[in-house]
Structure 1
Amino acid sequence: MQRCIPVFLDEEVVHQYYNGYCNNILWPLFHYIGLPQEDRLATTRSFQSQFDAYKKANQLFADVVNEHYEEGDVVWCHDYHLMFLPKCLKERNSKMKVGWFLHTPFPSSEIHRMLPSRLELLRSVLAADLVGFHTYDYARHFVSACTRILGLEGTPEGVEDQGKLTRIAAFPVGIDSERFIKALELPEVQDHMKVLKQRFAGRKVMLGVDRLDMIKGIPQKILAFEKFLEENPNWRNKVVLLQIAVPTRTDVPEYQKLTSQVHEIVGRINGRFGSLTAVPIHHLDRSLDFHELCALYAVTDVALVTSLRDGMNLVSYEYVACQESKKGVLILSEFAGAAQSLGAGAILVNPWNVTEVASSIGYALNMPADEREKRHHHNFKHVISHTAQEWASTFVSELNVTIVEAQLRTRQIPPPLPIEVAVDRYSCSNNRLLILGFNATLTEPVDTLGRKDSQINEWQPKLRPDLREPLRKLCDDPKTTVLVLSGSARNVLDDNFSDYNLWLAAENGMFLRVTTGDWMTTMPENLSMEWVDSVKNVFEYFTDRTPRSQFEVRETSLIWNYKYSDVEFGRLQARDLLQHLWTGPISNASLDVVQGRRSVEVRSVAVTKSAAIDRILGEIVHNKGMKEPIDYVLCIGHFLTKDEDIYTFFEPELPSEVPASVRPQVPTQVRTSIVGSRAALLMKQNSTSAVEQNKSYAIDGDTLHSMVTDRISLQEGSSVLDLQANDYFSCSVARKRSNSRYRLQSSDEVVTLLRELADHR
């Protein structure tokens, strides 16, 4: 124990953390056991204080780890007691190698979602680099919970959140099999075996070794044995069940009740089928030392493991390791994690089905020697090859590999925005252009299941209250032009920004207005919208058949959103919807189908933010009568992948063979003018905007009137941009994989940035 470092917790924290949150809430939940009815109200009242103690205890563990951590160390967190620890560690040191392993089952998402702290626990675990479970089923349940509760994307490798991949995998634990095998050769073990063989000579020995716990299925096991004796009178004096029940949590009323129940059943069966000289069940309420236990395993003919729910159950492994001579039979609950590993050699049973277990006992006792040998050989080979040492080595090795792979992915992820640098360059510039996205950039973040009204809020997005003041300051600065570029409809932008002196570009830039003027269209002249009705019919069909999905008809696109539908069902419906679209209304049309994380959008090929920015900039320049070229551009947003080429619009030209992923983050060359066809419109004094080239629209209803105003152009021969590379900041929000130069974690960081800019006008 010299290499162990203690973590000191005060008595009250231990009570609330260990006895309360861990053992009274998480443990029953993870084992599919409901809270005792009489305690449910009290538990509900004390939940928050217990969860606070849980977080405090985890933070204390993190503090001790940080005191002793050295660079390159691996931190392996274990079990449900420390689900908050990965987050605590990563917040202190994001480069720390952190793994987390759960030794219990992980329940289905329908069970886990009952936890009031469900979101925090899942996100805390996802802070780890590698998350391990005993079986694939548990891993699958965890991924499903992250998908259904957090709304994240599950992949074959794990769970992805904003470009960060947390690896999820199954690592079945084993035992030190060599220790058990060698123990059988020790004299004291041989002596115990000799005594046991004499004591039960002429009788088959069945064995159960369990903690006296609700999940171990001891009453079910004993009742199944009783049924076997009822149905097989010829076995009544030829078989004995040895049940070792190790006491646990003896101060808890439920466990005291279980102990009394087991004693009552054992007494009744022994009274019914026993005699003065022999009883069918030998029950011990105590543990055995290692040598006694090995001897008992070795002389047993049938081991009976009837867990109602068990993370792994290594008793089955220990029994197999000690059976190379006798080649006994293992009856194993299908609800134990070990069933995934030893199921081929064991007899799998449903412990709730007493009749099935009783029948399996008869089958095991009468099993031919050759079948016993085949079954044992299969399980023995697995036990000696999948040891505890191999399990630990595999997990740590996979954690190191995961770290390396994450580092490779990180190289493709834009670095965080250097806010101080962006603000400093802003202060030094004379004509600034700020291009801001709206949804998830200037709006409040919306939790998938965090708020009951979140669906309504998202379809009626509102500008964050804490952005109103800094945004107004920026809009009132004569050196700064603010453009809100969004996929939202015009009325949504009007509702949020009519009181600000800025430019609005709705529906991916297809409609434009300065807030002091009327809406105009920037749509290409030949843009056809004849496809709308047929696509609308498809969207209506799937909306009717997908609960909580919605679709929105805009003037240049249609969007079907299934964010609040059941995740699995929503994905299936989206796949089916796409097939309907490709084989029907859009099969021969010039349309783009843009798939978001939980949405499908259909728009004309020409409808993209980057395609519109040319026309928008031309209109802004002419409308404002700019005398000086733009010398600072900040473009930030949570844009769809399809629209991310807006980030590269202002980038210095690179050779076409150079992929975007290797473009320098802060290029050294200076951009003095825009070149190429995409920007030719902005080059000349006498350039006309796309708005001027479009047909006239009336301002009633869905049509628009093109606004023609006096143009004040730049001096002859000058360009719209005089932009140095270090004066351009493209920044994605809440997306780690992006074409942007930089990234911001959330709209909270957008608030921080805009406040800084507003204070440095």
Structure 2
Amino acid sequence: MSRLIVISNRVAAATGGNAGSQGGLAVALTSALRECRGLWFGWSGEVTEEFTGQITFQRDDDVTTATVDLEEQDVEEYYDGYANRTLWPLFHYRIDLAEYERGFAGGYQRVNERFAETIAPLIEPDDAVWVQDYHMIPLGTELRKRGCRNRIGFFLHTPWPPRRLLLTLPEASDLVETMFAYDVIGFHTDEWLQSFVDFVVLESGGSYADGILRLGDRQIRLITCPIGIDCAEFRSLAESPEAIETFNQMRDSAANRAMMVGVDRLDYSKGLEERFLGYERFLVENPAERKEVFLLQIAPPSRGTVESYQRIRSSLEGLSGRINGAHADLDWVPIRYVNQGYSRAVLAGVYRAARMALVTPLRDGMNLVAKEFVAAQDPEDPGVLILSRFAGAAVQLKDALLVNPYSAEEVSDAIRTALAMGREERIARWRAMFDNIREQDVLWWRRRFTDALFAATPPLTPEPLAETA
């Protein structure tokens, strides 16, 4: 197989079971790259006074990484600005939070150009290039401008918004048309893929048939390719000494009560406020059962410089304090709210100790926490997954208790149902979900995408580099 070049906003070196600070995408890409003779390129997370394009190489756990530093203005406009204050809320249907500023868009384009200029000399003729996520939408076009004739694929890890929502983005059609530099584009679900098709067909005059989207003389193959986890590795992690110690610690601290767990980055898309309100409704409506359960919510902060993230943190602190103040007793607190991250081994132990998981995002491209929770369970006594029907994972994990996260009643009812669910039903539901995540794991995801990418016919002539004023 040809070498695989992965390009993403951030690069995280593999650190095995101690990768507590890594998100689901970082863990999944690391697992995939272990199987390839590949290179992972992106931003180091560090700031420099002047962008030089100097690359830092590192090899760790069979994965080679190559990183560059960005200027402070790049971070403000590209990352904090266009990526996290424009595209992220828009792609999660929150146009009320999206901020549209020309400076953000300019910084986003500039950084994509800088990434292309830096990585292009490292790309060998037989390499396949796999670009990740919404930070890098125009990168394919910028690589083509610099003479790249390789196969280039793009995978979107977020939802793709409906056409009318995307139209709120200035110059949305121009951004979408840059994506025709890619040979293959992957989405987690058919819904996100169809939303992309609708925009191109109805707004740009494209056509779609047999998985090929055409616009003028250009075409892209579109595939649905839901990301998975390294199921075998995570099950092994759940049986590690660190996980077993955490499991015993959590079971002891539960004092024979059923523990619910939520593990989410502190983000408005995760539905944490709505989750707390649904749990509060359960406490009010079920006074006899309320002390039989408690919620452990782990929510590491992120993007703290963005105002909307500061607001969600303040709101959750107020909600958890109010709920605990109103319902706690001398020997019981309904919510344990923790603002820090933990290693994957510790989380595996927490998942295994939990009677149920609340994974209730308002909108999510996939959500790998749902899959990790299932993978960590004891097959003889598994917990129950309560899952938002608006998470991409809901398409695959149909045997979870699916809820509308906006409805406090549905969340409350699901908690009550999970508490009362018998062992036989819990095992049957878990088995169906586990079979899915084992079969469609991270290696299946990588192979499905790269098979489509390697089968693509790359352009014979790259786009010319546009002259700069």
TM-score, normalising length: structure 1: 0.51
Instruction: Give 1:92-107 correspondences, 5 Å limit.
Output: 92-93=146-147, 95-107=149-161
Output the CA distance in 1 between the equivalents of 2:154 and 2:194. 16
Output the CA distance in 2 between the equivalents of 1:255 and 1:94. 38
- 2:388 pairs with one of 317, 326, 333: 333
- 2:88 pairs with one of 27, 42, 45: 27
| 1:235 Cα offset (Å) | 0.8
| 1:59 Cα offset (Å) | 1.2
| 1:153 Cα offset (Å) | 1.0
Give the partner amino acid of 1:48. R
Give the partner amino acid of 1:328. G
1:143 lines up with 2:197 in the alignment? yes
- Structure with greater contact order relative to length (CA < 8 Å, sep ≥ 6): 2
1:371 lines up with 2:425 in the alignment? yes
Instruction: Give 1:222-261 correspondences, 5 Å limit.
Output: 222-261=276-315
Q: Please give the secondary structure, in 2, of the residue aligned with 1:6.
A: strand
Output the CA distance in 2 between the equivalents of 1:27 and 1:151. 26
Contact 1:143–1:158 (CA<8 Å) still a contact in 2?
no
Q: Please give the secondary structure, in 1, of the residue aligned with 2:70.
A: coil
Q: Please give the secondary structure, in 2, of the residue aligned with 1:5.
A: strand
Query: 2:55 is matched with which residue?
Result: none
Output the CA distance in 2 between the equivalents of 1:156 and 1:113. 26
Query: 1:291 is matched with which residue?
Result: 345
1:18 lines up with 2:79 in the alignment? yes
Output the CA distance in 1 between the equivalents of 2:357 and 2:295. 9
Q: Please give the secondary structure, in 1, of the residue aligned with 2:79.
A: helix
Give the partner amino acid of 1:320. V
Query: 2:66 is matched with which residue?
Result: 5
Query: 2:256 is matched with which residue?
Result: 202
Output the CA distance in 1 between the equivalents of 2:174 and 2:140. 12
| 1:250 Cα offset (Å) | 2.2
- 1:108 pairs with one of 145, 162, 167: 162
Output the CA distance in 1 between the equivalents of 2:339 and 2:66. 33
Contact 2:257–2:291 (CA<8 Å) still a contact in 1?
yes
| 1:162 Cα offset (Å) | 2.8
Contact 2:120–2:148 (CA<8 Å) still a contact in 1?
no
Q: Please give the secondary structure, in 2, of the residue aligned with 1:332.
A: strand
Contact 1:236–1:273 (CA<8 Å) still a contact in 2?
no
1:171 lines up with 2:232 in the alignment? no
Q: Residues 277-317 of structure 1: CA distance to partner in whole angstroms, max 9, x if unpaired?
A: 21111111111222221110001111111100111110000
- 1:125 pairs with one of 164, 179, 182: 179
- 2:119 pairs with one of 62, 65, 70: 65
Give the partner amino acid of 1:327. P
Give the partner amino acid of 2:233. R
1:387 lines up with 2:441 in the alignment? yes
Contact 2:274–2:408 (CA<8 Å) still a contact in 1?
yes
Output the CA distance in 1 between the equivalents of 2:112 and 2:408. 42
Output the CA distance in 1 between the equivalents of 2:170 and 2:315. 33
Contact 1:243–1:283 (CA<8 Å) still a contact in 2?
yes
Q: Please give the secondary structure, in 2, of the residue aligned with 1:248.
A: coil
Q: Please give the secondary structure, in 2, of the residue aligned with 1:33.
A: coil
| 1:156 Cα offset (Å) | 3.0
Contact 2:265–2:299 (CA<8 Å) still a contact in 1?
yes
| 1:379 Cα offset (Å) | 0.5
Contact 1:144–1:154 (CA<8 Å) still a contact in 2?
no
Contact 1:324–1:380 (CA<8 Å) still a contact in 2?
no
Instruction: Give 1:283-682 correspondences, 5 Å limit.
Output: 283-325=337-379, 326-342=381-397, 344-403=398-457
Output the CA distance in 2 between the equivalents of 1:137 and 1:253. 30
Output the CA distance in 1 between the equivalents of 2:448 and 2:213. 20
| 1:150 Cα offset (Å) | 1.1
Output the CA distance in 1 between the equivalents of 2:299 and 2:371. 18
Give the partner amino acid of 1:13. D
Output the CA distance in 2 between the equivalents of 1:18 and 1:251. 11
Give the partner amino acid of 2:405. P
Q: Residues 531-552 of structure 1: CA distance to partner in whole angstroms, max 9, x if unpaired?
A: xxxxxxxxxxxxxxxxxxxxxx
1:156 lines up with 2:156 in the alignment? no
Give the partner amino acid of 1:277. D
TM-score, normalising length: structure 2: 0.82
Contact 1:246–1:286 (CA<8 Å) still a contact in 2?
yes
Query: 2:17 is matched with which residue?
Result: none
Q: Please give the secondary structure, in 2, of the residue aligned with 1:131.
A: strand
Give the partner amino acid of 1:60. R
Output the CA distance in 2 between the equivalents of 1:30 and 1:195. 39
Structure 1 runs of 4+ aligned residues shifted over 6 Å read none
Give 5+ residue unaligned stretches, structure 1.
416-744, 746-761
Output the CA distance in 1 between the equivalents of 2:217 and 2:254. 63
Output the CA distance in 1 between the equivalents of 2:69 and 2:244. 43
- Bigger-Rg structure (1/2): 1
Query: 2:142 is matched with which residue?
Result: 88
| 1:173 Cα offset (Å) | 0.3
1:277 lines up with 2:339 in the alignment? no
Output the CA distance in 2 between the equivalents of 1:381 and 1:74. 31
Q: Percent identity?
A: 37
Q: Please give the secondary structure, in 2, of the residue aligned with 1:258.
A: helix
Contact 2:132–2:154 (CA<8 Å) still a contact in 1?
yes
Output the CA distance in 1 between the equivalents of 2:79 and 2:319. 32
Give the partner amino acid of 2:84. N
Give 5+ residue unaligned stretches, structure 2.
1-57, 464-469
